Each structure stands twice: as structure tokens, then as C-alpha cells.
Structure 1
Amino acid sequence: MGVEELTNPLLAGFWNETRLRSSPETISPAADHTDPGMADHTDPGMSVQWTRIAEALGLGYGERSGAVITKGKALMRARTTPSAGALYPFEVLVAFQDGHDYALYHYDAAGCSLRRLAAVGRHEVADILTAAPSSDPPAADADRTADLPAAVVAVVARPWHAMRKYGRRGYLYTHLDSAHAATNIALAAADAGFDPAVRLRFDRRALSRLFGLENLCREPQALVTLTAPAGGRPAGTGRAANPFAVPIWWHDGGRGLEQPDGPEREAWELVSPVSTYHQPRDLPLRFGTTASVRAGGPRTGAAAPVALAGPDDTAALDDFGPVVLSRQSAKGFLAKPVEADALGRTLAAVRGGIAVDCADGPLAGLRLLVRNVDGLAPGAYEYDPAGHRLLPVGGDGGSEEAVVAACMNQGVAAGCAALVALHAPVRQLLGERGQQGLAELHFHAASAAQRLCLGAAVQHVGITCLGGFDAGRIAGLALLADEEEVMYVIAVGIADENAVKWDRAPIAHSHGRDPRQPAG
């Protein structure tokens, strides 16, 4: 014991506690030049492939520079995908291929932390990914385990995290928010050199058992498989990394996922009648690349279609890293017009598709309510993705008072140049497809919205996604047919950098409550 420790033990103790020490359990994987596809790699947990996947997660669903959001007494940094009320009511789990098995990690976007949870068997992963309706003959064991992906990313909803603010409607927001993240992760993985595919037709209960989610009030809503192409396609030199998402690895297998409390368990029971987790439905896997939105249906207007600029504009994907890091949700709009060319190139981003296992699933249509766009007359237009054109429907775009009222009195809608309404014959589809149809329809709608967000970032157009709206009023302004219902609304315009977006506050102001007035 030294003299200082004898004379001032508290100071000596502080010095010892705060001394920095390196730990082999928390180091990031070291880059090497080993072929990531080699099965005999001595330490796959420290491979370039794991690092590339972690970097893709940081771009697809990580913190970014810019806004710091106050949530009660906590501060959180904005992320690369939007969320209703900035709640992010989901978790991300990643199973990395680890030799002959998989290693399951929990990915925490706050701090880009990956914490090991458990080992997962290769055959069990194959069972999840190759599951087929009971009428189909089972695949041979060798076929099931051949060519398994380098990683499986599971986006897992925690409905209570949205429902405690938005009620039962919060469950729908988990589907939208999860889809934004799953789409963005898939795009980031493609940018990193992987072949991604999104899966919505899988056994959610079986995955919960495999990943240790049973009785935790969590619903796996989307899987993103990341396959390393034959030949080990390089990640690409000069690709942008997310400086706010440098991965930190915890390989110690420490604490598990947070346990639910009483209110969370009660909320879980409330969604059981509408959840695919509780009401599974076998549907055949239909792999393919789908369009983000469906073609417009019949219309009554006789006006000629309006061609849009940028029909083949793919800048949002060609330079994905810088674009996704610049994406942000507008907090308000200035009463200034948007150029028609910029709007056209923003809409072009939804023409891209994504590889899914439900290529025959329902897609939303896109109705545009133009209010202040140079080169376009105010009114409602249906977007035709195949021809990248607008089909005039009619109307005058509505007054600002009518638009704000239709958006549940959210001030963010005032001054917007246009509203995008993603719509579908929801009730008919729910009757035909049940809970699985609800999940797939909301996934595709939010996937289209995420592409719009990226397209807007390229064109420097302000954009914000609105989950709180009066569906009947929006449908009336947009002149939708009676059977078409609005699922998601996106406002675009010239962003007001000085505005405040109140739906991030604790109370659900986006459902029509004035943040400056007391409850009740």
C-alpha cells in the first residue's frame, strides 16, 4: 500500500475506479484480409464480414448527426430512420453466421452496441427460413442448410412502447416504424455488398422460441437476410461510414433483454386479436422484387397525364451513405413552393423495389394532394409508377385550414407544398388476408415512405411522415374512391429550420391535442 493510499484512501479509490483498462470482451472486430466466405476462418467473430454487417446496421438504423431530441428527462440523438413520436418501439436482433452455427446479438442503436445473447443452431435457423405451408413436402436436410445467409436481422416490435402514448393505434405504428428500419437496413446492406431479402411470411412464434423472446411481449415483424454473394463481392472502397455508429462489441453474454412489466403485459393482450404473432396464417413464400407502390386505378378526370422529371433517378441508392446520413424529418414548412422537377425526382425514389418473400402481397397506391408546386395545378393526382407520371383526378388542393384539420391539427402540416397519401382497399384486404395482410400492407406502405424520405434528402426537399390523421378528411381532400382508405400520410415542402415538432413531446399531440394546453 502506497503512502498516498494511506493518507487519502478516497482519492486513491477514485483513481483506481476511473483508470481505463482494455477488455477483450468489448473490442471491435479487427479488420483482416481473410476471405469472409471461407468456412475455416479461425475466428469468424472478428472477421471483416461481421464488421461490414455492423457498419450496415449503423447506416440502416443508427444515430446520426443533427437533432438531439428531449424525451422526458432523457436526451436521444436522431436516427437514420423516422419514428412516430421518436419512440422507436422495436428492437433489432442479429444472428451472425459463426462457423457451423449462428451467434445472436442485440443491436442497440444508442451507442451502436452489439451484445451477445446466445448461440443459435444452424439447423434451427434453416427451419425458420425454409418453412413452407404444411401441404408442401418438407425439404431435404441438406437443402435446408445449404447457402444460409451471413446474417439474419430481426426487427422485433415492443407494442407497449408506442401504445402507452398512442393507445391501440400505437400497434400500427410498430409496423410502420419496423418497416422503415427493415427497408433501410436492407438498402444499407446492399450498399455494403450483400444480397438482402426481407421476409414477412415466417413463423413468428418459432422465431421467438429460437431467439429467446417468449413471454417478453415482443413480436418479430420482419426478417432481413444478408447473403454474401459467391466470390466475395468487395464492400466498395470509399463507401461512407456513419461516424456516430462505430460498433462496440460485448461478447460476454451478459444481461438479457429487458423484462416486461404489468402494463406492457396488458398491452400485449390487447393486440392479440390483430397480431400475426397470435393469429398466424400459412402463406406460400413468393420471392421476388416488388414495386414500392401499385399503379393507379381508374379515375374520372379527363385531363392529360403529367410527365415527371427524373424517371430513372437512382441517386438515393447510388450514394446511399451520405444520403441516409442527411435524411431528417422536417419540423415544419415555409409557405413557399416546391419545384415540380424536385418533386418528380423525389417521387422517382419509390420506383425502386426490394426483394421480399411476399412478392404477391398487397401494395398501396399513392395519391398526391398538390397545394403549392411550381409547374403543377393544385388538386389531387394519382401517381403512376410505371410511367412515372401523375394522373389528374381533380379538386383544388384544399385550404390550409382543411389540410391542418385533416392532419389532426398538427402544426407541422401548415405550409406544406403537398401531401402524399398511401392508400388501399384496407377492409377488403383484411377480409381476404387477415392479420398477415395487415402486416404486409403496412410494411409496403412504410417501405415506400422510406424511399420517399431518401429521395427527398437527395433533392433537398423537406419531408415528414405523419401517422396521426383523419383518414376520412384526407380521403375527401384527395378525392379517393369510397373503398380506398388512407394508411399513411407524408407531407413535403420547403422545410422550416426554426419550427418545433410537438409530437415528440410526451403527450400524443399528433392526435389533436394542443401541447400548450392542459390535458382534458
Structure 2
Amino acid sequence: MSTVETRSDTDLNERLDPLLARFWDETRLRANPQTAGETPFAGAAQAPPPDIPSSWTAISKVLGLGYGERAGAVITKGRTLMRARTTPSAGALYPFELLVAFRGATTYELYDYEVAGCCLRRIGTVEQGSLDGLLTLPQAPAPQPDAVVAVVGRPWASMRKYGRRGYLYTHLDGGHAAANITLAAEGAGFLPVTHLRFDRDTAAEVLGLTGRCREPQALITLTASPTTAPAAAGAAANPFAVPIWRHGDGTRPEEPGTAEQEAWRSVRSISTFHRPDDTPRRYGSSRTVAAVPQGSGALGGTGTPGDSGTAAIALAGADRGRPDGPRAAFAHLALTRASAKGFLPAALGEEALGQVLAGLRQETTTDSADGPRAALRVLVHSVENIAPGSYAYTPDRHVLHPLSGGAGTQEAVVASCMNQDVVRSAALLLVLHAPIGPLLGGRGRQALAELHHHAASAAQRLCLAAAGQGVGITCLGGFDTDLVSRLVGLDGPEEAIYVLACGRPDERAVKWDRAPIAYSHGRGPALHS
């Protein structure tokens, strides 16, 4: 079969304006199920719509900013147009879903959050004790959260495009959303805590996910601050995500098909869902990236100079880890963040680089404060006043440690990123890395989940900080580990787990990696003929 595709009338949906498509859907006539003889599915809640508490409304604003639609449209891997969202995704596939349990008088009211149209659809109730048992905080007595947001991975949504590697993208993409929701909640006056160490099998039962090929990967508790009333705080809202509340509409949940069930079974050996973890919880605040160990070989054995003997480079923005720093402008950053489609061949300012990396100095509260975190290396190609080469970043001191000279050629960088031309002319690469072998050997599946969650959280903070500086940035899940490691000087068990490219954005560029073929995974047109 020829690899040349022809357009037909059936392809018109690819070019349909998302707003026009939504209008068409919203204006469809639907018969009353009672008069049409339809019977809602057994799990549908038929209670009359309750009055929406003001705290629920405040939480819906958090969801709209943290993971909602925004201005613009993107082309997905499936060649369709969709509204842009406040968090990025590999191929715009978004292989995760959100469930929200709002605290009521005696139970939690469970809603499915549909990002398209910002629809909150009630799907049932959850006993307060069942959620509290999963998330008991160390304080006595622990404050009962106003809501629990569940980030639920749906591996098939990504695996059908990327194979088993797509499972990792559920953690990365969901981690971006979890980080953004956490930041939005803080700005709205809530005290968020991210939970990664919980019994996923029990959580799936509580949330009604058993048998649906979905994995609860993170739970975020939102508790009103004793000093700030979220409902009265006038929290910023996303104008593109006005919540629609639906109750008892009889919508049947999508059942997984044979291919999805097979993909689900294929990740049994790596998913924490299939083997409960007993790692003890450790609550606290910590940064999303690891500090470079003092006296490590990466620092030339001194902890200060690098292999070249050059002193560490202090960066601008060291004060941006304060609570009154970039979080104050979160709403604006969330709505203006976008993935760069290409870069101009121009140098990035040294101060801009410092301000972008300063986004990593913020701390987040989690139940895995002692968990594995990736470290960061920066491959500088063209930054004012900083020589090309590889550098290790230390968030505590906000400095770059020179490691080696030379940043490699543009062609080498493009090749290392699986020939994704989007990185051509990038001023630098940001490489999140970790000792994968020892971590998986010592901590198992839970380490895999936590590591990728925290890497995504770090990447999301970098994306927001870049938006504030007008710096172009894009996240890359497809890369050649060996080539990237060679470029930034990683050795031993250290491996790259996530790569971001930064530079001056080229607004005229086209991001070809969103074509239907997964070029970022080395799959060419011949495989799809």
C-alpha cells in the first residue's frame, strides 16, 4: 500500500474548528430517556441536583486552571484538532483522567471531571471513612480535606501509539497535571498534599475503577487553609473553563475493549497497581529535583568546581523559591504556557536561564518526602556569558557546576532526540536523570512511579517559569538515552528520564512530531504502509 495519504470527506473532522465542533455537539437534540424507553445504567445517580457549595465552586476553579482548556488549538497524534490545555502531553494524548471527591455533610460526592467543556459529572458517593483510611495524615486529629482529586492513569490511551513506553507517559502527563493542580490550589487558598504511597487496588475499589483498566496514580487532598477562605478569596478563574455540573444523566462509562485489556495485562510486571507497596509514608516538603551530592565525581571531587576547574556559576532568581514569588502569577502563567514548536538560532539571556531554573526551587508537600527525585543537567549551546558545555544544577544553592566543554553539534542534539527537528537551534537542553538500575533494584515499582511523577512536576514548574520569561520550552519523552547521556556526560547507572529543550521560540515553526506517525520513537512511514 502506498504511504501517500489522500484526503476525503471523512477527513473533514480533522480540520473542524474545535469551538464549532463543541457548538454542534451542545446543540444536538436529545430525547427524554423516560419517554424514549431508555433505562440509565445501574451506577447512575438519580438524586436531584444538590445546591453547589461555595467550596466546591472554588475547587472547580482550581481544576479549570490546573488542568483545563485554554486559548488555541493543537493537532493530536490522531490527526484531530483539540482545544489546547494548561498542561502538555506526549502527542496531546493525555492518557489519564481525573476524579474528584467533594466533601459533603456525611459522604464524599464523587464526580468525573471531563476537561473538554469543564464538565463535572456526578457518578456516585464515597464513604468518608474509606477515603480517610487511604490518606490518614500524621496529625491527630487530621483535618478532613474539602476534596480529594484522583489522577487516574489510562495506559491504553498512550500505549496504542507508543507501545509499553506509553505506560511511562501516563505518569509523566498525569504528573504535569498534578503539579499544576497543586499550584492552582495553593493560589486559591487551599493546603494541598500529594499522595503517592497508597494502596492503589483499594483506591480503585473505592473510586469504582476495578476492571476498567485504569490505575489511580496520585491522590491530591485539598484542605481549606485556616487563614484563607477559598470561596471568599476571589481566586482567579480560567475563562475557557466554566464548570458545568451534571447529576444523574445516566451516562454509561466507557468499557475497555480487548486490545486495552491486553495492554493492561502487559504492564502487570511494572505497575504498582498490581503489587501493593508497603513503603512507609513520610510527609513533608521537598523540592522536585535532587541536589548534586557534595564531593561527587560529577563535581570534580570538590563539591564546588567542575571537571574543568571553573568555579560554579551563580544564577539569577535565587529568591524566587519564596511563597510570594512566581506562584502569585500562576493563573496568568497557566493560561499562557505553550509548548514551543521550534526555536530561533539566537542566544538565550543568562538571567532568563536563571529565572527559568528558579522555578525548581519551590517546594511541594507530599507523603513521599524521602522519595527518589531526578537530578538536572543543562547542556548549554547558546546562552549569553555561559560557555557551551554540560553543567550540573544544584537547586539549594541555585548554581551551575561546569562539567565538560563542548555542547555537541546541532545534528548530534537532533539525533539524540530521535530526529525531532523541534530541538534544532535550541539554546539548551535540560536533562532530568537518575540512577535507574539501583533505584528499581532497591525500591521497585514504587520508585518508578515516584521518580516519573517528580520529574513531571519539575518539568511543569520549568514550563511555567519559561512562560513567565517569554522563553520557548518543549518537553520530550522520546530520546536516545545513550546519546543524550553522552552529550551531558552521564556515566555509571545514571540515565536520562525526561528531556526539555529551551530557547527563543520560533512562532512560525511547525511541530511535525505531532503527525500520526510516532517519529519520536523511531517509527517511520514504512511501518504504516
Partner of 2:451: 441
Query: Which of 488, 494, 498 is the equivalent residue of 2:498?
Result: 488
Query: Which of 119, 122, 126 is the equivalent residue of 1:120?
Result: 126
**Would the aligned equivalents of 2:76 and 2:93 in 1 still touch at CA under 8 Å?**
no
Partner of 2:513: 503
Cα distance change of structure 1 residues 337 and 18 upon mapping to structure 2, 3 Å threshold: closer
Query: Which of 303, 308, 321 is the equivalent residue of 2:310?
Result: 303
**Would the aligned equivalents of 1:131 and 1:202 in 2 still touch at CA under 8 Å?**
no
Say if 2:261 is the partner of 1:255.
no
Partner of 2:378: 368
Structure-2 separation of matches of 1:503 and 1:257: 31
Cα distance change of structure 1 residues 282 and 459 upon mapping to structure 2, 3 Å threshold: same
Say if 2:174 is the partner of 1:178.
yes
Partner of 1:89: 95
Query: Which of 183, 188, 202 is the equivalent residue of 1:206?
Result: 202
Cα distance change of structure 1 residues 238 and 342 upon mapping to structure 2, 3 Å threshold: farther
Query: RMSD across aligned C-alpha pairs, in angstroms?
Result: 2.2
Where in structure 1 are there 5+ consecutive unaligned residues? 1-16, 22-42, 133-138
Structure-2 separation of matches of 1:198 and 1:320: 19
Query: Which of 466, 474, 486 is the equivalent residue of 2:476?
Result: 466
Structure-2 separation of matches of 1:446 and 1:19: 41
Please list the CA deviations of residues 492-513 of structure 1 after superposition, one character each: whole Å capped at 9, or x if unmatched.
0011111121232222121134
What is the identity, as a one-letter code, of the residue corresponding to 2:71?
S
Structure-1 separation of matches of 2:190 and 2:515: 38
1:281-320 aligned at under 5 Å gives the runs: 281-297=277-293, 298=296, 299-300=299-300, 301=307, 302-313=309-320, 315-320=325-330
Equivalent residue pairs, number:
473
Give the deviation of 1:18 after TM superposition: 7.4
1:40-439 aligned at under 5 Å gives the runs: 45-70=51-76, 72=78, 74-130=80-136, 147-230=143-226, 232-234=228-230, 239-252=235-248, 254-297=250-293, 298=296, 299-300=299-300, 301=307, 302-313=309-320, 315-439=325-449
Please list the CA deviations of residues 227-256 of structure 1 after superposition, one character each: whole Å capped at 9, or x if unmatched.
012355345756432111000000115224
Partner of 2:43: none
Cα distance change of structure 1 residues 160 and 131 upon mapping to structure 2, 3 Å threshold: farther
Please list the CA deviations of residues 361-391 of structure 1 after superposition, one character each: whole Å capped at 9, or x if unmatched.
0111000000011111000000011110100
Please list the CA deviations of residues 267-316 of structure 1 after superposition, one character each: whole Å capped at 9, or x if unmatched.
00000000000022111110001111111132231210001011112543
Structure-2 separation of matches of 1:185 and 1:343: 25
**Would the aligned equivalents of 1:117 and 1:256 in 2 still touch at CA under 8 Å?**
no
What is the identity, as a one-letter code, of the residue corresponding to 1:46?
I
Cα distance change of structure 1 residues 115 and 340 upon mapping to structure 2, 3 Å threshold: same
Please list the CA deviations of residues 442-462 of structure 1 after superposition, one character each: whole Å capped at 9, or x if unmatched.
111111001000110000100
What is the identity, as a one-letter code, of the residue corresponding to 2:521?
H
Cα distance change of structure 1 residues 358 and 342 upon mapping to structure 2, 3 Å threshold: same
What is the identity, as a one-letter code, of the residue corresponding to 2:342?
G
Structure-2 separation of matches of 1:83 and 1:403: 22
Structure-1 separation of matches of 2:266 and 2:527: 28
Give the deviation of 1:179 after TM superposition: 0.5
**Would the aligned equivalents of 1:410 and 1:512 in 2 still touch at CA under 8 Å?**
no
User: Tell me, what secondary structure is at the counterpart of 2:272?
Assistant: coil
**Would the aligned equivalents of 1:192 and 1:236 in 2 still touch at CA under 8 Å?**
no
User: Tell me, what secondary structure is at the counterpart of 2:274?
Assistant: coil
Structure-2 separation of matches of 1:18 and 1:70: 25
Please list the CA deviations of residues 179-211 of structure 1 after superposition, one character each: whole Å capped at 9, or x if unmatched.
101111111111111000000001101011111
Structure-1 separation of matches of 2:233 and 2:490: 47
Cα distance change of structure 1 residues 185 and 439 upon mapping to structure 2, 3 Å threshold: same
TM-score, normalization by structure 2: 0.86
Please list the CA deviations of residues 131-181 of structure 1 after superposition, one character each: whole Å capped at 9, or x if unmatched.
99xxxxxx9xxx68x521000000000101100000000001111011101
Cα distance change of structure 1 residues 254 and 103 upon mapping to structure 2, 3 Å threshold: same
